[in-house]
Structure 1
Amino acid sequence: MERYEAQKLKEQLAGFARELAERHGVVVPQAQAQAPQTGPAVSAAEVVRAPTLAIGLAPQPGGGYGIAVRYRLGVPRARSIVRRVEAEAGPAVDVRRTGRIRPIADLGPRPPAPAAQSAGETGRVRPLRPGVSIGHVDVTAGTLGAFVTRRGLTGPALYALSNYHVLAGSPEARPGDVVLQPGPADGGDYPEDRVGALSEVVRLDPDEASWTDAALARLDDVAVEYEYPVGRVTKTARAMGGELVEKVGRTTALTRGRVTAIELDDVIVGYEDLGALSFDDQIEIEGLGGEPFSRGGDSGALVYREDGVALGLLFAGSETGGRAGKGLTYANPIDAVLEVLGIELAGETASARR
């Protein structure tokens, strides 16, 4: 299918899935979006609508698009709804189960592999560079994704871009809160490891669909290096599906993957402090070679093509699911992040975009 045809079919299937869910009264305990399913029972007041069925576009090997259908294993009756949607979608459909999707930092920063330790992702790094551990003074640790500047403003102000749940971590966080490198989980301490202060957070509302999990920290007078493994990343593009991508993160360092779906709507992510949030227009990535693309602590990493063009800001994932069973990763489209915050990648100009 051409892209516009797939988009139209996606809208029809989303409505069909909602009707089926309402007809069958399928619900998901909110706590199950955040805790193991062996946890305590929850009341009726703690449920959110289901079937946590995300629908988007899947690139096809021969070109064009099919329909991507993603569902969480363990949700009551979800699989029966998926089968109905799959039949309605026709042959060009890619169905995968995701496992529980959570912010990557909430998966609990894991001890880094030896390669990551030698690269310094979890240690104190000066000059600062993309991919290192960073976090709000009261948060565990995440990843410094990119250095950015405010559009239309001149002067020395430079910001670090990462996620809400890395640089803020809770609704109680306020502009001016201390940001550490490395993050607290990696030994960062105040005042010696302060590198900046929380500047702005994109609001997340459990009652509305979200598009970005992003925040900025205004950096102190600290030296930085802009280089990624592919060099300096200053251009952006919209993911079209099928791209080979990379990221460098706090836990798994440099990993490679492939964009397996785009324009995914209704990706349900369980936050410890906000509950279950729905994200629209998201990018899905699966690691190459049977390895995960990300793990706990990689939140906030910049996802870029192998030619150094940025596509997304990594924010969530699952530890299971996907074709290799090692989990799937989700990213906000980078242009949406830059637009909502009124920023640009450091050194970027409008003419550099494509």
Structure 2
Amino acid sequence: MPTTQDYEYLLECKNVIGVDYDEREDRVTVFVTQKESDDCLADEDHVAKRVADAGDDVTIDVVDAGYGEEREGFDALSIYETVPEAAPGREGRHRPVPAGVSESNANLTAGTAGPYPARVTDPGDGDVVWRDDIEPGDLVRLSNNHVYARSNEADPGAPIRQPSPRDGGTEDDAVGDLVGYVPIEEGVRVDVAARSAGPDRDAADYFELEDAWPTGVRRDDYETLRGETVTKTGRTTGVTDAEIEATSASVRVNFGDEHGPVLLREQLVTGSMSEGGDSGSPVFLEDGALVGLLFAGSAEQTICNRIGLVESELGVEILTAEPDANGSTDGSDEVAVHTTTLDHTVSVDLEPSSLSLESIRFEDRIRPGERVEAAVTVGAEPGTYWLAIEDERTTVTVPKNGDGDGSRGRATASILVSVPDDVDDSLTVRIRGGPVGSLE
């Protein structure tokens, strides 16, 4: 079955800055900076001819991005020296800081404070740039790389101001430091960065949205969202909504002179609901579930990262409420389980009682008869512990915290889960564990 990447050759065509393949409708949507008549296009720039020459028989939609001229990509929405004025109430100083108000790197014009709280799960994973002192369990606030890290140009520790400099933010308005980001590079799937945060200066609120939002985090089944209405809260245009036009788009985005147009894959594309300075805005479904992180757009479209990729690529878990002293977000002993299919039941058998299961995240779709990797996060006193699911066993070391006082910390380990062949719509996972000295 074809995927969007199979049609990325269309990005070679004049005016084409985005492409999306919808498997359900066998349809290719092509986003262009301007529409031109067939007689103005060379054969190599004619989308329908290129598809026919490739032997594909699919429906083609050509959608105007509204630039009215040839361009190399959509615009990252906070890279320019001039951005519009902020919506009323969003340009001011907020303490604690809610999502959706003016906030950015001290050397940028303006951006938007994104989702909080997010909990770091694995700061040593992949190519992510993290400050050396960041540990699993640390709380951070999210926005875009180009808002907090100035498109890879800022060093960890760079100050973040609320409000942004464009809105009068000064040194006295520093609200945190840049602590991590996913580098912007060809083929990346997210434009995301994190700053230091905490309940003393940040609120788990979303400006001018329902108090109960987010009701959850949408981490899967994005392909079914075409046509759904989404809502964002952002610095410049406030609360706006639009319909999802594409769910797995490959788009070229202009990040300024240092980077030029960069290809990003697996993006959500909506109708227009943003302007410059809205970068970093959290995006929600109608039921209040957080679904995207806004970062780019044009006069006709807005581009958002899938929020599930924001989590997995950066190595964080977005929480729906401020955690209590024990790390729980609701004061209960319920374990956070993040999966892509099926209902799920978790059975826990951990010794000693100080070892607790914080969350389990399945990193891929759960399919009968297959194995899927699970990221298991535990809380405990510093030390090394064993964890087991069925016959799979691993160890995890909970580090001492920065104060060295021996208080509880968190750590995450990966372990494979074998899914039974006869599983229907519910999966039970038993997790066992204890100090390594308790192994038989």
Does the pair score TM above 0.5? yes
Does the C-alpha gap of structure 1 residues 224 and 172 become closer, same or farther in structure 2, counting only changes over 3 Å? closer
Deviation at 1:209, TM superposition (A): 1.4
Counterpart pick for 1:303 among 283, 299, 302: 283
User: What do residues 31-84 of structure 1 show as CA deviations (whole Å, max 9, x unaligned)?
Assistant: xxxxxxxxxxxxxxxxxxx6644221359xxx7452211122289947942242
Counterpart pick for 2:293 among 303, 313, 320: 313
Deviates more, 1:124-133 or 1:100-109: 100-109
CA separation in 2, counterparts of 1:129 and 1:353? 28
Does the C-alpha gap of structure 1 residues 96 and 146 become closer, same or farther in structure 2, counting only changes over 3 Å? same
Matched, 1:73 2:58: no
What corresponds to 1:133 in structure 2? Answer: 102
Does the C-alpha gap of structure 1 residues 13 and 232 become closer, same or farther in structure 2, counting only changes over 3 Å? closer
Between structure 1 and structure 2, the one with the greater Rg is 2
Aligned length: 293
- What is the one-letter code of the residue matched to 2:189? W
Q: Is the 8 A contact 2:151 2:184 kept in 1?
A: no
What corresponds to 2:306 in structure 1? Answer: 333
Deviates more, 1:123-132 or 1:221-230: 221-230
TM (normalized to structure 2)?
0.60
After TM superposition, list the pairs within 5 Å mapping 1:150-169 onto structure 2: 150-151=120-121, 157-169=138-150
CA separation in 2, counterparts of 1:210 and 1:200? 16
Matched, 1:56 2:20: yes
Deviation at 1:91, TM superposition (A): 6.6
After TM superposition, list the pairs within 5 Å mapping 1:225-304 onto structure 2: 225-228=203-206, 229-230=209-210, 231-233=212-214, 234-238=216-220, 239-240=222-223, 241-265=226-250, 267-272=251-256, 273-286=258-271, 292-304=272-284
CA separation in 2, counterparts of 1:310 and 1:175? 27
CA separation in 2, counterparts of 1:232 and 1:94? 34
Of structures 1 and 2, the one scoring higher in RCO (CA 8 A, sep 6+) is: 1
* Structure 2 gap ranges (5+): 123-134, 322-328, 330-334, 341-440
TM (normalized to structure 1)?
0.74
CA separation in 2, counterparts of 1:172 and 1:300? 17
Q: Is the 8 A contact 1:237 1:309 kept in 2?
A: no
What corresponds to 2:161 in structure 1? Answer: 180
Q: Which has the higher helix share?
A: 1
Give the secondary-structure state (helix, strand or coil) at the position aligned to 2:99: coil
CA separation in 2, counterparts of 1:300 and 1:203? 16
CA separation in 2, counterparts of 1:53 and 1:296? 19
State the Cα RMSD in Å.
2.8
What corresponds to 1:203 in structure 2? Answer: 183
Deviation at 1:282, TM superposition (A): 1.0
CA separation in 2, counterparts of 1:78 and 1:126? 56
Deviation at 1:170, TM superposition (A): 4.5
- What is the one-letter code of the residue matched to 1:203? P
Q: Which has the higher strand share?
A: 2
* Structure 1 gap ranges (5+): 27-49, 287-291, 320-326
Counterpart pick for 1:122 among 91, 94, 98: 91
User: What do residues 212-238 of structure 1 show as CA deviations (whole Å, max 9, x unaligned)?
Assistant: 111000126633332331323142234
CA separation in 2, counterparts of 1:67 and 1:237? 24
User: What do residues 80-132 of structure 1 show as CA deviations (whole Å, max 9, x unaligned)?
Assistant: 422424767657332112235110113542113xxx31xx2111112210101
Identity across matched positions, percent: 30
Give the secondary-structure state (helix, strand or coil) at the position aligned to 2:46: helix
CA separation in 1, counterparts of 2:189 and 2:94? 31
